[in-house]
């Protein structure tokens, strides 16, 4: 009881209002300071996985550029061909999951859980597939790129090979 009486006494009057404002400002200042403090450093294993994913994406891009350039150079009138691709995401892993769907008149719910496998070494999620990086654009330069007929054939072939629209592909003549 003495504590509640003491608290009422402190908060009553002008001194109480000033104390409440000061405590509120101190709380806001602590929240601001906590948002400026960086989060804990990522674990080295996570960093290695990210670096491995980026390296795999770069290898995929370089291999696809080389193969596409070889393919396009066989088009009549194309001549020497160089290809540069832009990649929208790195290689990613897709894990197997199982779920159930519940639907009522008011709402529908989906509950999914990853499939976990393991033996004596430990448990881990079941890898369903590894998705290759997504190609989002292409720049193609070739010695025959000044000809509209050659450009059209290059656009169509690259669009079909990469699954991109012609708007995401640029073809020009090599100097």
Instruction: Compute the distance between CA of residue 167 and CA of residue 138 in angstroms, rounded to an integer.
Output: 10
The closest of 137, 146, 139, 138 to 175, measured between CA atoms, is: 146
126 and 137 in a single domain? The answer is no
32 and 85 in a single domain? The answer is no
Give the H/E segment covering residue 20: helix 13-36
46 and 86 in a single domain? The answer is yes
For 15, the domain range is 2-36
Residue-level pLDDT, tens digit, the chain, 175 residues: 677 777 677 667 777 777 777 888 888 888 888 777 766 554 444 444 466 667 777 888 899 999 999 999 999 999 999 999 998 876 677 777 777 777 777 888 877 777 777 766 677 777 777 777 788 999 999 999 999 999 999 999 999 999 999 999 999 999 8
76 and 6 in a single domain? The answer is no
Domain count, the chain: 3
143 and 120 in a single domain? The answer is no
Q: What is the CATH number of the domain that holds 137?
A: 3.30.300.30
């Amino acid at each position: 009881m003495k504590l509640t009486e003491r608290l009422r006494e402190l908060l009553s009057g002008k001194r109480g209002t000033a104390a409440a404002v000061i405590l509120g400002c101190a709380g806001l200042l602590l929240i601001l300071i906590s948002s400026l403090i960086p989060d804990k450093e990522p674990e080295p294993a996570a960093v290695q996985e990210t670096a491995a994913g980026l390296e795999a994406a770069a290898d995929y891009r370089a291999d696809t550029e080389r193969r596409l350039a070889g393919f396009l150079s066989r088009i009549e009138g194309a001549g020497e061909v160089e290809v540069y691709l832009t990649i929208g995401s790195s290689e990613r892993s897709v894990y197997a999951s199982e779920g159930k769907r519940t639907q009522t008149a008011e709402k529908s719910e989906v509950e999914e859980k990853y499939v976990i496998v393991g033996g004596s070494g430990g448990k881990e999620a079941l890898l369903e597939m590894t998705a290759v990086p997504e190609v989002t654009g292409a720049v193609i330069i070739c010695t025959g790129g000044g000809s509209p007929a050659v450009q059209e054939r290059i656009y169509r072939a690259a669009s079909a090979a990469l699954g991109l629209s012609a708007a995401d592909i640029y073809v020009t003549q090599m100097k």
